[in-house]
């Protein structure tokens, strides 16, 4: 009698959950008309010869609902931070006030809302690809186990198990995308 060969579905599930959490974090950086410090988190600044996250070169504050400020610690980096914000594609025009960079958040128009829903769709598609890569890794484990003597029935069971994890993760992504798109389009 051969011993039972098992596939580590907990690891696959954890990795799929990680992709969903990453997607939710990316969604939090998309603005929906209200200022938020997370909007500028993806901005990378060329500081001291290396790309550095903006929150490591200054303090990010939200003093009012339509304003984000970045208080740059090193005066020599103010111009580089301003350039990084302009080049980031946030659609925000920075205003300088000494070492403080003010980012007034304009009202979202219909066209910009549609662009943001497309960006959210791109983020969701990248998350789906990550989920499918985890699924492929699971299927590769099953193929390897088949070579190690896994029975046909066990292969079918584990394949179905990996597929159900994948389907649940993709459904979670679709649900998060739908909610985010509704939030963006809300006036």
Cα–Cα distance measured from residue 131 to residue 183, given in angstroms and rounded to the nearest whole number: 24
Q: Does CATH number 1.20.58.1000 belong to domain 9-27+109-185?
A: no
Going by pLDDT thresholds of 50, 70 and 90, the confidence category of residue 161 is very high
Cα–Cα distance measured from residue 119 to residue 141, given in angstroms and rounded to the nearest whole number: 34
Cα–Cα distance measured from residue 33 to residue 133, given in angstroms and rounded to the nearest whole number: 34
Name the region of 149 (left: φ>0; alpha: ψ -120 to 50; beta: rest).
left
In this prediction, residues 35-56 reach a mean pLDDT of 86
Residue 100's Cβ-side half-sphere holds a number of Cα atoms within 13 Å equal to 9
Domain segments of the chain as ranges: 9-27+109-185, 34-104
Both tokens assigned to 123: 């983020």
The answer to whether the CB of 134 falls within 8 A of the CB of 7 is no
- The 10s digit of each residue's pLDDT in 129-154 is 999 999 999 999 999 988 888 888 98
CATH number, domain 34-104 = 3.30.1360.40
Look at the pTM and tell me if it is higher than 0.85: no
Residue pointed to by tokens 């301003």: 82
Going by pLDDT thresholds of 50, 70 and 90, the confidence category of residue 33 is low
Cα–Cα distance measured from residue 19 to residue 23, given in angstroms and rounded to the nearest whole number: 6
Per DSSP bridges, beta strands 58-64 and 50-53 are unpaired
Position 28 scores a pLDDT of 80
**Greatest distance between any 2 Cα atoms in the chain:** 77
């Amino acid at each position: 009698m051969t011993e039972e060969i098992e596939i580590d579905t907990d690891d696959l599930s954890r990795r799929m959950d990680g992709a969903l959490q990453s997607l939710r974090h990316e969604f939090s950086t998309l603005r929906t008309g209200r200022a938020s410090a997370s909007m500028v988190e993806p901005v990378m600044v060329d500081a001291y010869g290396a790309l550095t996250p903006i929150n490591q070169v200054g303090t990010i504050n939200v003093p009012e609902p339509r304003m984000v400020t970045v208080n740059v610690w090193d005066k020599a980096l103010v111009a580089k931070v301003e350039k990084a914000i302009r080049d980031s594609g946030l659609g925000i025009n920075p205003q300088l006030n000494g070492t403080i960079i003010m980012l007034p958040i304009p009202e979202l128009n219909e066209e910009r809302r549609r662009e943001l829903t497309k960006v959210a769709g791109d983020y969701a598609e990248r998350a789906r690809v990550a989920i499918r890569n985890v699924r492929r890794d699971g299927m590769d484990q099953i193929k390897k186990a088949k070579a190690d003597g896994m029975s046909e029935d066990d292969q079918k069971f584990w394949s179905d198990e990996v597929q159900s994890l994948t389907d649940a993760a993709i459904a979670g992504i679709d649900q998060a995308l739908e909610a985010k798109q509704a939030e963006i389009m809300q006036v």
